[in-house]
């Protein structure tokens, strides 16, 4: 991979890079019963990052197949696929498309973009940590990243819940998203 130096970072050359789905995880965390956390992920997704000459003008997009949600519990996954939550028959995809990079400090960038869930689009802010570049044992260029954000699921029409006898609700409103992965030059 051709790299260059920008503000003390060794970054990929200008170009488009596809997410390496075999080495990327799109995960989420939500509170359960106000006392613990449930973790899950999506198994089918695709995305790309286009690195601009000025890295602060770069862009990214991600498409997630909603039916690929998995929390490790079949009944819960079925409920999450239902009309109470993702309604995967009507809304087969979740999408993110960046609109701007608002700044950076060292290897951490702030990326703003449009997140669409159930045909509701809201602006979200991502924290993107750049992990560096390398070459895997098969000679393929890679660069790594970690992304995190948090949003209120009710802002996207995901309002199902159940009150608990002890107070509070079954499912927390805040969803934390964590994406860890690698990208490779587009062919």
Domains in the chain, start-ordered, CATH in brackets? Answer: 3-185 (2.40.128.110)
The pLDDT, as a whole number, for residue 165 is 66
- Contact present, 105 and 139 (Cβ < 8 Å): no
The pLDDT, as a whole number, for residue 52 is 96
The residue to which tokens 């993702």 are assigned: 86
Spell out, as residue ranges, where the chain has pLDDT lower than 70: 1, 32-36, 160-171
The pLDDT, as a whole number, for residue 159 is 72
Cα 101 from Cα 183, distance rounded (Å): 18
The pLDDT, as a whole number, for residue 125 is 97
């Amino acid at each position: 991979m051709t790299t260059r130096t920008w503000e003390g970072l060794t970054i990929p050359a200008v170009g488009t890079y596809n997410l390496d789905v075999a080495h990327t995880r799109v995960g989420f965390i939500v509170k359960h019963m106000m006392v613990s956390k449930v973790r899950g992920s999506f198994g089918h997704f695709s995305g790309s990052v286009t690195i601009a000459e000025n890295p602060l003008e770069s862009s990214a997009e991600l498409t997630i197949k909603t039916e690929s949600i998995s929390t490790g519990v079949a009944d819960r996954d079925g409920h999450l696929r239902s009309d109470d939550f993702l309604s995967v028959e009507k809304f087969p995809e979740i999408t993110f498309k960046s609109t701007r990079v608002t700044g950076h400090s060292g290897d951490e960038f702030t990326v703003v973009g449009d997140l669409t869930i159930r045909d509701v689009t809201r602006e979200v802010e991502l924290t993107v940590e750049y992990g560096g570049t390398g070459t895997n044992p098969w000679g393929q260029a890679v660069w790594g990243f970690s992304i995190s954000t948090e949003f209120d699921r009710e802002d996207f029409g995901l309002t199902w819940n159940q009150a608990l006898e002890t107070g509070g609700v079954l499912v927390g409103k805040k969803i934390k998203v964590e994406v860890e992965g690698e990208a490779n030059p587009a062919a």
